[in-house]
Amino acid sequence: MTAQVKNVDALTREEAAQTLAELAEQIARHDQLYHQQDAPEISDAEYDELRRLNSAIEERFPDLALTDGPSGRVGAAPASGFSKVAHAQPMLSLSNAFEANDVVEFIARVRRFLGLEEAETVEIVAEPKIDGLSASLRYEGGVFLLGATRGDGTTGENITANLKTIADIPETLPPDAPAIFEVRGEVYMSREDFFALNERQTAAESKTFANPRNAAAGSLRQLDSSITAARPLRFFAYSTGETSEPVADTHWNFLSHLKDWGFSVNPLSRLCADSTEALALYEEIDAARSSLPYDIDGIVYKINRLDWQSRLGMVSRAPRWAIAHKFAAEQAETVLHNISIQVGRTGALTPVAELEPITVGGVVVSRATLHNADEIERKDVRAGDSVIVQRAGDVIPQVVRAIAEKRPKDSKPFIFPDHCPECGSVVMQEEGEVVRRCTGGLICPAQALERLKHFVSRNAFDIEGFGGKHIEAFRTDGLIKTPADIFRLASHTEEISTRDGWGEQSTDNLLAAIEARRHIPLERFIYALGVRQVGQSNGRLLARHYGTFEALSEAMAAAQDPESEAFSALIAIDGIGPSVAADLIAFFAEDHNQTVLNELAELLDIEPFIQAETDSPIAGRTVVFTGTLEEMTRGEAKARAETLGAKVSGSVSKKTDFVVAGPGAGSKAKKAAELGVTVLSEQQWLEMLNGEATP
């Protein structure tokens, strides 16, 4: 189940790090389900909420952002079967707005970033956000040569043959189109075509699709393009990738060229003079939404002037010049049959509503989290209640409320168990925490299982072809009890290869995959242990600090004494507080854990931490901007510096590497001089950024 975070502002640093690690894992899983398997388990709105939460936490704790985390990535790496295509320019995603005010704020941000005078108008193009999947089409010499999916934003799949079957996509362009021209847009299926396709699929006893988007995705990813040709796919063009020459000065004119060249551009798109007009269009289209022939999930606003777009650039994976304004949540009524309790890796007990399955916004929902005991009490939901469920703006399907009038007469309030339903151990609630936890530790089968699953998960040991289901089955049959047993499976070859669904080949593959993971970077190893509050980010902090597993292990033993130097050193690590330290020390002190750790150390090659190198001259440096900048606004300067890996600070100290001083610089420049910190002019700074001078 998902980390529930109501208020990002209230998160401690440790909670933030933990949540970011959890979110990274969840988002990666959902990316995989959505992009590679065309089988999402959550709605787009829920997915967006995960992303939003991730960004909000990263914004508050920028240094905790994971380099390989969700904001650096778009979608999932391409699946096999198609050849890969490196995008000449990355295919971006969009940040989201959920209410009108977010849109107003978006325009204000743009204005601040560009340093615009009040009198200057900012035109916006508003377009429906088509609920399909994006594709990039490359024309050379006016001929459609290469078409690709978005993939992870950098590399997609070559689906040229499939795209050529789509009637909306012109084979050739008129001579006035640029010699090299990449156009991007959305492949989608109309609702009517989707229903008809599902009928044909049912008649043929083939798989049906959950919604038009999945149908479009499944049709586009056929290895046999004659199947794609039989599927009624369409295409709306809305942006560009590489072009050999500029096409227009504004996005609006660009769209008009697209139409001239034979592309289909969404007819509801409109040029708006300001946010008021754009928001009015949003309302208008929202009202007409259900009568449109295709699914849309919001409105995209784009800054019309292309010179401004290029100045605005992008932040992590999304452009600063566009935003997607999502339509509100869809709700539905259903019956809550039962409240069950799930026990997680760290013993947390999560109540789950078991629902009469219901379709909300195109996806069937049968379970929803109730978060914790307080939440159940606050909402007073009971088994047997008719409830309103919602999917949007929230992480997982949510029970909004119970319908009082429909409550069965004999209904009783839910009583939260005081013993773990899995192992019978006492349930405890720590002071200041809302979660209740099973105190069974390793004797609790649910916790032990979840820990094993975590151990092999993607960001931990990532053993190919060895997922949660296998772990569960192997554990039930006694093949593995502890993580160390995984690395001893080679002595059970016979038992594995004779299992149901297994053969010699698959056993060999599994053992090879396990073998490949005998060498593991220290930070992954630490993360894999599943110590409470030690996610990827804290794993990396510890790896960086201690360097080797031996050093970490010794330090944790010594740190049991709170008077020791080892303890002081541990809590002095920036990002590790007393609470994380306590969990770590307790983990290493536990006898069972010690045994497993010693076994693992014998079986594995835990690689020492290697400091990452980056090629940007300012990566890792701390910069302070002061005075007036002439080439760009402060915001733009800060963003560029951060993109190159620099840390931007507001005040000068001994830790400052450079002060960039423009006209009117006062006390900060003076302080820099006193401290002997290098002071650069804006020009010198720009030269450094461009690699023309080295620090």
- E strands, 199-348, in order: 234-243, 270-272, 296-303, 314-315, 318-319, 322-326, 330-343
Among 186, 193, 394, 485, binds ligand IVH (CB under 6 A): 186
* Spatial contact of 629 and 682, defined as CB atoms under 8 Å apart: yes
The SS3 of residue 561 is coil
Nearest approach in angstroms of CB 114 to ligand IVH is 18
- Sequence-ordered list of residues with C-beta below 8 angstroms from that of 557, at least 6 positions apart, any chain: 588, 589
Does residue 300 belong to the site contacting ligand IVH (CB under 6 A)?
yes
* Spatial contact of 646 and 636, defined as CB atoms under 8 Å apart: no
Q: In the window 82-101, what residues touch ligand IVH (CB under 6 A)?
A: 92-94
DSSP per-residue letters across 59-119: HHSGGG--TTSGGG--S-PPPTTS-EEE-SSPPP---EE-SHHHHHHHHHHHHHHHT--TT
Pick between residue 238 and residue 527 the one whose CB is nearest to ligand IVH: 238
* Spatial contact of 58 and 286, defined as CB atoms under 8 Å apart: no
Among 26, 36, 134, 136, binds ligand IVH (CB under 6 A): 134
Pick between residue 23 and residue 597 the one whose CB is nearest to ligand IVH: 23
Does residue 45 belong to the site contacting ligand IVH (CB under 6 A)?
no
Among 18, 43, 71, 239, binds ligand IVH (CB under 6 A): 239
Does residue 148 belong to the site contacting ligand IVH (CB under 6 A)?
no
Among 13, 73, 87, 129, binds ligand IVH (CB under 6 A): 129
Q: Which stretch binds ligand IVH (CB under 6 A): 222-230, 316-324, 363-371, 676-684?
A: 316-324
Does residue 136 belong to the site contacting ligand IVH (CB under 6 A)?
no
Catalytic member of 6, 84, 129, 453: 129
Nearest approach in angstroms of CB 46 to ligand IVH is 14
- Residue 198: both structure tokens together: 């599902």
Identify the H or E element spanning 349. Answer: strand 349-360
Nearest approach in angstroms of CB 254 to ligand IVH is 12
Nearest approach in angstroms of CB 93 to ligand IVH is 5
Does residue 319 belong to the site contacting ligand IVH (CB under 6 A)?
yes
Pick between residue 170 and residue 298 the one whose CB is nearest to ligand IVH: 298
Nearest approach in angstroms of CB 157 to ligand IVH is 15
Phi, psi for residue 124 in degrees, rounded to 5: -130, 140
- Is 129 considered catalytic here? yes
For 488-524, letters b (16+ CB in 10 Å) and e give: ebeebeeebbebeeeeeeebeebbebbeebeebbbbb
Phi, psi for residue 351 in degrees, rounded to 5: -75, 135
Among 324, 496, 531, 623, binds ligand IVH (CB under 6 A): 324
Pick between residue 285 and residue 570 the one whose CB is nearest to ligand IVH: 285
Nearest approach in angstroms of CB 181 to ligand IVH is 16
- Give CA–CA dist 79/323, Å, rounded: 28
Does residue 250 belong to the site contacting ligand IVH (CB under 6 A)?
no
Q: Give the distance from CA 500 to its chain's centroid.
A: 36
Q: Whose CA is closest to 244, among 176, 148, 311?
A: 176
Among 82, 238, 254, 327, binds ligand IVH (CB under 6 A): 238
Does residue 127 belong to the site contacting ligand IVH (CB under 6 A)?
yes
Q: Judged by CB under 6 A, how many residues of this single chain contact ligand IVH?
A: 14
Pick between residue 217 and residue 648 the one whose CB is nearest to ligand IVH: 217
Nearest approach in angstroms of CB 640 to ligand IVH is 19
DSSP per-residue letters across 599-651: HHHHH-EEEPP-------TTTT-EEEEES--SSS-HHHHHHHHHHTT-EEESS
- Give CA–CA dist 525/543, Å, rounded: 9
Among 110, 130, 278, 528, binds ligand IVH (CB under 6 A): 130
Which residue number has the CB closest to ligand IVH? 134
Binding site for ligand IVH (CB under 6 A): 92-94, 127, 129-130, 134, 186, 238-239, 300, 319, 322, 324
Residues carrying an active site annotation: 129
